Each structure stands twice: as C-alpha cells, then as structure tokens.
Chain A
C-alpha cells in the first residue's frame, strides 16, 4: 500500500486535472472565480509541499546515500536519512 503522501499527491493532481477541464466550461463568473481560487489553493499547497518537504527530502536522501560518512541528526543509526 502506498504512503499517505503519495495518495495526497494523487488527489491533488486529480483535483487540478478536474478543475482545469471544468473551468473553461463554466459560464457563471462567480463560480468561475471561486473554482479558480480553489485551483490556485491546491496548486499552492502542492508547490509548497514540493519545495518544503519533497525536494529537501530527495536532496537529503541523495546526500546521505552517496556520502556514507554523513549521518542524519534526526536518527541515531549510521547511513539513515
């Protein structure tokens, strides 16, 4: 079973896909504005998560796996990220 993070990413991508198809079909301006805000919020969350969690996590994983003399301050064991 995939992690909660993966499912949240999938849900975010699906929401963005749905909103990007639905938005051009709407005529009502207030609905369009509300859904555009939802689109931006979801996009913002995903980008923020990518910049603050996913990217640093990937960089840390790369550094700790390629330089075995380094170790994470979070955990006690060697070679752990």
Chain B
C-alpha cells in the first residue's frame, strides 16, 4: 500500500498540534507558589476525574466497539492494571523502597513516574488513532485530532498537578509532560508504516491504557487526596473530580457532534 505524502504531512502536523496542547500546562510556571500550593490538590482531583472518565467513558467503550467481546476487553483492562502494579513495584524497588506519599528534597514519588509512563502510553495510542483516521479520510483525521486535543488540555493540566505533587519542580513538570506527549509521533509513524498491525493492536492497547489510568487514579492519586480532609478541601476536590468526569462526558458529545456533521 502506498501512502500519499500529504497524508504523512497532515498526520505529523496533527501530532505536533497535540504535543503543543501539552504545553498548555506551562501556565503553572507563571503562577505564584501560594496559588500553586492551593491549586495542586485540586489539579490532582481533576486528574483523577479525567483519568477515570477517559478510561470508563472513552477508552473501554471504544475498545468494546472495536473488539465486540466485553469480557475479553475487561480481562485486558485487568491485565493492564496488573502490569502497572508490577511496573510500580519495580519502580519502588529500583528507586524508592518506601510508600511515603510526601516527597522529600530531590526525591520523586512513584506516583509521578507512573503518571509519566501512563501518559506516554496514552499519547502513543492517540498517535495510532490520529494516523489511522487520516489514512481512512482526511476529514475524519481532522475531527479525530480535534477530539483528542479537546480531551488532552484538561488531562495535561491534571497531569502537571500530579507531577508537581510527586516532587517535580514546575519547570520539570512541564518539560517531562511535554516529552511524554511526544510519544504521539512514534504511535503515528508506527501506524503509517504498519497500518494493519497498528489497527489490530488498538484492541489490546486501548484497554491496557485504560487499566493503567484506573490503577494510577485509584492507587496513586486518590490516597493523595485523602491527606487533607477539611470541609473546604472536600468541596474543592469533589468539584474538581466531578469536573474531570464532566469534561470527558462533554468530549463524547463533542465527538458525536463532529462525526455527525
């Protein structure tokens, strides 16, 4: 199969647009430390909502639609969660040997590392989706890119909150988050080179990414939210959590409207 050069160029342009969105988190660099200190727990709560919303509203239904068998998709989600559990154990064994949820000086918590790994994998899947849709039809490619950009912005903001909580400085958090977003390009190139293999690999990659998100949100981020239990924090974090889920639901409606247009 020969691929038109315009398809390759449009896919790369779309991938770079998605990567630019991850730099929207650079807003964190211009905020005062006091504002950031107040904002980070709420951003972590937003990340929990967005990650769980993305997994349950977006990735798992998409995988079921492609695969058809619900039980197999659910099993792959569990395998994804198990893989991330083993990965985190490995990260802790290699670097940390502790289960502390507060970073000390020069120490990065596993939750930040796991978040980076999960985000990189998610962006790789996004790259496959972008290239796959551009191969099918340029208009579909554009709508898919718009939908991915729409869910990327709140997610990147939440991710930076999680990275800041994990011990990264604001500058490092923005940079590492951007480096992870660049995995969208290898995902797209993989699809352009091996479109048949890439398309079928989505059946496995989508639920594994969903499993990773559920694991990170439930085991790494939610315990962080329980550190503060005043009424103000309960209200703020609940609102941010619900907003994350709301964003993801809105994006599903947005996608449906785009595809219907």
| Interface size range on A against B | 10 to 19
Once the chains are docked, how many angstroms separate the CA of A8 from the CA of B9?
7
Q: Is the CB of B174 within 8 A of A11?
A: no
Which of B17-25, B33-41, B227-235 touches A? B17-25
| Interface size range on B against A | 10 to 19
Q: Is the CB of B16 within 8 A of A3?
A: no
Once the chains are docked, how many angstroms separate the CA of A22 from the CA of B16?
14
| Shortest beta-carbon distance from B10 to chain A in Å | 5
Q: Is the CB of B138 within 8 A of A4?
A: no
B95 at the interface (CB under 8 A from A): no
Once the chains are docked, how many angstroms separate the CA of A17 from the CA of B5?
23
- Contact among A1, A14, A18 for B6, CB-based, below 8 A: A1
| Shortest beta-carbon distance from A40 to chain B in Å | 19
B66 at the interface (CB under 8 A from A): no
Once the chains are docked, how many angstroms separate the CA of A18 from the CA of B16?
9
Once the chains are docked, how many angstroms separate the CA of A41 from the CA of B9?
19
Q: Is the CB of B9 within 8 A of A11?
A: yes
Once the chains are docked, how many angstroms separate the CA of A2 from the CA of B6?
8
Once the chains are docked, how many angstroms separate the CA of A1 from the CA of B140?
11
A residues contacting B by CB (< 8 A) are 1-4, 7-8, 10-11, 14-15, 17-18, 21-22, 25-26
